[in-house]
A and B are shown apart, each in its own frame.
Chain A
Amino acid sequence: MKVLIVEDEKTLAFEMEKFLKKAFFLCDLAHGFKQAVEKLELNQYDYILIDLGLPDGDGFDLLQKAKKSNPDAAYMILTARGKLEDRVAGLDMGADDYLAKPFFLPELQSRMQAIARRKFKVADELLPLGNFNIDLQKRFVFFEDEQIELSRKEFDLLSYLLLHKNRVLTRIQLSEHIWGNFTDGDYDSNYIDAHIKNIRKKLNMYAPTEWLETVRGVGYRIKK
C-alpha cells in the first residue's frame, strides 16, 4: 500500500512515516502544496493524507486536484483546525475520513484500514486469534462455531488491539480510541483494565487468552 503524506511540519511527517512503515505501508512525503502536486502527477497512491494548513496552498484545493489524478485513492484529511465545518467540507469534497490533530498513530492506521475495508471491499474474513476467530465487519467473536457475546466497547477494544497486534497500546491510546475526546483525562482510573478483565473473563470460559498480554506500566498487547 502506497501512502502520500502531505504535511508541512517535517518532524510530524517523519513520525507518521516511521510508524506507518512498521505497518508495512510505503510512504512518500510532500511538505507543501507544490511538492504534493508534483508527486501526485508522477505516482499513483492508495492513501493520500492531507494536512489542511499548508503554507503554499489550500488543502481543500489540493484534495480536489488530487482527486483528478488519483481518483481511486483513499483520502484522509488531517488538521489542527478541528472545526466542524472543515470536517463537513472535507467529507463533502470526497475525503474518506477526517482526523483532528493531535491524533494517535495507531488511530490513524486503524482509520486507514477501516477505509480500506469499506472502499476496497476486502472480503469478509475471519481473523484467527488464539483459539478464537474474529469477524471485524460483523463484529462477532467465535469459538469454533459458538458466538461469544462481547459488549460494544469490549469488542472495540479487542479489535483495536488485534489490528495493532504485537504492538503495545497504552491506556491513553486505547481510551481515546474508544471514548474519543469526551474523556476528561482520568487515565489513572481503571476503565480500560476493567474492560480487559471482562474480555478475559468471557473468553477464558472457552479457551486460554495468554495472547492478550498486560505490559506492566505501559498498557496491553496482543501477541501472535
Chain B
Amino acid sequence: MKLSTKLTLFITGSKLAIVGLFILLLPFLIGQVASNYTNFSLKNQRKKVIRNINNKGMDYYLEGQDSYGSYTMLKDEYIALEIAAPDLKLDTIRDTKRIVEQDTLAYRVLSFTFTRNQKNYLLEIGKTTTSINQYNDALQRFALYVLIILIALSIIIDLIFTRRLIKPLGQIIKLRLGNTRFPFKRNQQPIKTNTYDFKYLDQSLISLMNQINEAFEKEREFTANASHEFMTPISILQNKMENLLTEEVEPESLQEHIVEMMRTLERLKKISRALLLISRIENEQFSKQEQVEPLSLINEVVEEIGHRLEEKNIRLNIDLKYNNKQAQMNHDLLFQLFYNLINNAIKFNRENGYIRITDHFDKGKYSIQVINSGQGIPATEIPHIFDRFKKTGQAENTGYGLGLAIVKSIASYLNLNITVTSVAEQETNFNIRFSTNDRSV
C-alpha cells in the first residue's frame, strides 16, 4: 500500500474513532454539564435570596407566619423559607420528591439553614429535574453537527497537508528509483524540499548512485585496459609461434604442440576481444545513426555462418513478413548480435534440427524471433544465460560464455528488449523487440 493511502486511511480512521467515542460520551457529558450548571444557579439564587432577606428583613417574607413559599406557575421552580428546629444544620443539594398541590414532582433541592434573630431558618430552592435536562437533546444535536463539520474540515486539511508533505518522497521514488537505466544520470539535481529527512534520503540516494557509477566506471575502465594490455603480449606470443611453425621444426609432434599452444592463445585472444567489445559498447563508442533492414542483415549473417548448418543438417527458415526497417541502429553491432544468436542456435541444435527466424509485432513493437530446436534451456538457468562467463552447461567446450553477454550489452545499448523462452527437449526462442513502434513496412 502506498504511503499516501496509508496516511489517508490512518487520518480518517483515527478521527472517526475519536468522534465516535465523543458521540458515545456526549449525553453523559452534557448531562454532567447541565447538572453542574443547575447546582451553580441554585447557589446563585440562594445568595440573592439571602441578600434580599438581609436588605428587607425576615418579616418582609414571613409576614409574621412560620413559613413562606413561592412557586412559578408551572411549578418548575420553587422557593420555600421556614423556621427550622434550632439544632438543624443543612447546606446540601440533592434530588428529592416533593408533593406540590397533590402532584409528586422530582426536584433538585438546595437546602440551607441559617440563623436570624436567634431563630434557625431553613431555605429551600428547588428546580424540577426535567427542567434541568430540557436542553440536552438540542445541545447534543448541535454539538454533533459542529463536530462533524469540524472533523470533515480537519480531514481535508490533513490530507492536503500530508499530500504536500510527502510529495518530495514521491518525486524521489520517481526520479531516483523509477525507470533507472544503468549507468545513472550524472549531476542529478537535488529535489526541492525543506523536510530534513527527505533531503537526507535524496542526498544519500544521489551519493549512492554516484558511487555505483564510479565503481562501474572503474570496472569498465579496468576491463578495457586489462583486455587492451593483453593484446601486445598475445601478439608477441602468437607471432613467435607462427615463426616457429614456418621453421619446419622437427620432430613433427613439436609442430602439433605449437598448434595446440596457438589454439589456447586464440582462446585468450577471443576472450580479451570479447571483453574489449563489451566495454566499448558500454562506453558508447559506437554510433547509432544507421538504418538497418533486418532481412538483408540476417542474410549477411547467414552467408557468414551458413556453412555450419550443414554440419548438423539443420533446416533454416527465414520468414520476415514485415521486414521493418530500423533506424538509429549500428549495423555492425546488430550483425554481431544476430551472429551470436544464430551461432548459438546452431551450436545448441540437434542433428536434423531446425532454425526459424520470423518477425511479428509484440505489444505494437517490431520484433524478430530466433527459434531453434534442441535441448532447450532449463527455466532456472534462463536468468543467468546473459551473465559473463556463464556456461549453460548444455554442452561441453561451447564458447567461453561471452557470446550472450555481448548480445546483452548490444541489446541494452541499442534499446532492444530480449526475452527468452524455452521448452525442454523441444525448442528455444529468443525474442528481440525493437523500441520503435512504427508499423509501416
A interface residue numbers (CB < 8 A to B): 9, 11-12, 15-16, 18-19, 22, 80-85, 101-106, 153, 167-168, 170, 172-173, 179, 181-191, 194-195, 215-219
Q: With A12-B236, A172-B266, A185-B266 given, is the CB distance from A102 to B242 under 8 Å?
A: no
- Contact yes or no, B232 A172, CB < 8 A: no
Expressed in whole angstroms, the Cα–Cα distance for A102 and B263 within the complex equals 14
- Contact yes or no, B236 A179, CB < 8 A: no
* B103 on interface, CB distance cutoff 8 Å: no
- Contact yes or no, B262 A170, CB < 8 A: yes
Q: How near does chain A come to B252, taking the closest CB pair, in angstroms?
A: 7
Q: With A15-B236, A80-B228, A188-B397 given, is the CB distance from A181 to B273 under 8 Å?
A: yes
Task: From the candidates B228, B238, B246, B252, name the one contacting A81 in the complex (CB within 8 A).
Answer: B228
Total contacts A-B at CB 8 Å? 110
* B256 on interface, CB distance cutoff 8 Å: yes
Expressed in whole angstroms, the Cα–Cα distance for A178 and B276 within the complex equals 22
- Contact yes or no, B307 A185, CB < 8 A: no
- Chain B's closest residue to A191 (CB) is B307
Chain B residues with Cβ below 8 Å from A188 are 397
Expressed in whole angstroms, the Cα–Cα distance for A101 and B400 within the complex equals 20
Q: Is the interface of B mostly helix, strand, loop or mixed?
A: helix
- Chain B's closest residue to A15 (CB) is B239
Q: How near does chain A come to B358, taking the closest CB pair, in angstroms?
A: 23
Chain B residues with Cβ below 8 Å from A168 are 245-246, 255
- Chain A's closest residue to B402 (CB) is A184
* B270 on interface, CB distance cutoff 8 Å: yes
- Contact yes or no, A12 B267, CB < 8 A: no
Q: How near does chain A come to B62, taking the closest CB pair, in angstroms?
A: 124
B interface residue numbers (CB < 8 A to A): 228, 231-232, 234-236, 238-240, 242-243, 245-246, 252-253, 255-256, 259, 262-263, 266-267, 269-270, 273, 276, 280, 285-286, 304-305, 307-308, 310-311, 336, 339-340, 343, 347, 397, 399-400, 402-403
Chain A residues with Cβ below 8 Å from B399 are 184-186
Q: With A104-B238, A194-B307 given, is the CB distance from A185 to B270 under 8 Å?
A: yes
- Contact yes or no, B243 A105, CB < 8 A: yes
Expressed in whole angstroms, the Cα–Cα distance for A10 and B198 within the complex equals 60
Chain B residues with Cβ below 8 Å from A19 are 239, 242-243, 246
Most chain B C-beta atoms within 10 Å of own C-beta, residue among A83, A102, A183, A218: A102
Chain A residues with Cβ below 8 Å from B340 are 184
Task: From the candidates B263, B280, B304, name the one contacting A83 in the complex (CB within 8 A).
Answer: B280
Chain B residues with Cβ below 8 Å from A215 are 255
- Contact yes or no, A185 B400, CB < 8 A: yes
Task: From the candidates B231, B238, B311, name the one contacting A80 in the complex (CB within 8 A).
Answer: B231
- Contact yes or no, A83 B285, CB < 8 A: yes
Expressed in whole angstroms, the Cα–Cα distance for A85 and B262 within the complex equals 30
- Contact yes or no, B285 A191, CB < 8 A: no
Most chain B C-beta atoms within 10 Å of own C-beta, residue among A19, A82, A219: A82
- Contact yes or no, B242 A101, CB < 8 A: no
Q: List 12 A-B contacts (CB under 8 A).
A: A18-B243, A105-B239, A106-B242, A167-B246, A168-B246, A182-B305, A184-B340, A187-B266, A189-B311, A194-B311, A217-B256, A218-B259
Q: How near does chain A come to B288, taking the closest CB pair, in angstroms?
A: 13
Chain A residues with Cβ below 8 Å from B253 are 217
- Contact yes or no, A218 B245, CB < 8 A: yes
- Contact yes or no, A9 B252, CB < 8 A: no
